[in-house]
């Protein structure tokens, strides 16, 4: 599963470099919580990072070894490998405030 959006600085703010986000979401099977997390993530990305994110969804049921190699404990886990430093957000991403804080994304519009 890979969603790529077209590149392009859509809502660049002064002094904020337009970086590309590489995100990976780890889930364990198509559980309601996993689906919720995926939906929440898509929504946030489309809203705040349109066209400049890459999202990979890793289902650990299909790739159990990656749980170890990628240091996954909690499900769901969202990993931002770019921009550095690596950030991890766990949970079904229903708290979009925390997700934005965790990914270090500036709000598009305040209010």
Cα angle: 34, vertex 32, 37; to 5 degrees: 35
> In the set 25, 40, 48, 55, which binds other proteins (CB under 8 A)?
40
Report d(CA 14, CA 10) in Å as an integer: 12
Q: How far is the CB of 8 from other proteins (least distance, A)?
A: 27
- What separation in angstroms does the CA of 109 have from each of 12, 26, 48, 105, 106? 12, 29, 9, 12, 9
Nearer to other proteins, 12 or 74 (CB): 74
**SS3 of 23, please?**
strand
- Give the residue with the Cβ less far from other proteins, 10 or 61: 61
Q: Which of positions 52-111 make contact with other proteins (CB under 8 A)?
A: 60-61, 64-65, 67-68, 71-77, 85-99, 101-102
Q: Which is nearer to other proteins, 57 or 87 (CB)?
A: 87
Q: Contact at 8 Å (CB) between 62 and 53? A: no
Contacts to other proteins by CB under 8 A: 26, 28, 33, 36-37, 40, 60-61, 64-65, 67-68, 71-77, 85-99, 101-102
């Amino acid at each position: 599963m890979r969603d790529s959006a077209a590149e392009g600085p859509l809502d660049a703010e002064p002094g904020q470099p337009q970086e590309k986000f590489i995100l990976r979401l780890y889930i364990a099977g198509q559980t309601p919580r996993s689906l919720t997390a995926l939906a929440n993530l898509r929504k946030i990305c489309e809203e705040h990072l349109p066209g400049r994110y890459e999202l990979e969804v890793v289902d650990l049921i299909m790739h159990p070894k990656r749980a170890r190699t990628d240091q996954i404990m909690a499900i769901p886990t969202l990993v931002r490998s770019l921009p550095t430093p690596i950030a991890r957000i766990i949970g079904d991403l229903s708290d979009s405030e925390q997700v934005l804080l965790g990914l270090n994304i500036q709000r598009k519009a305040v209010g």
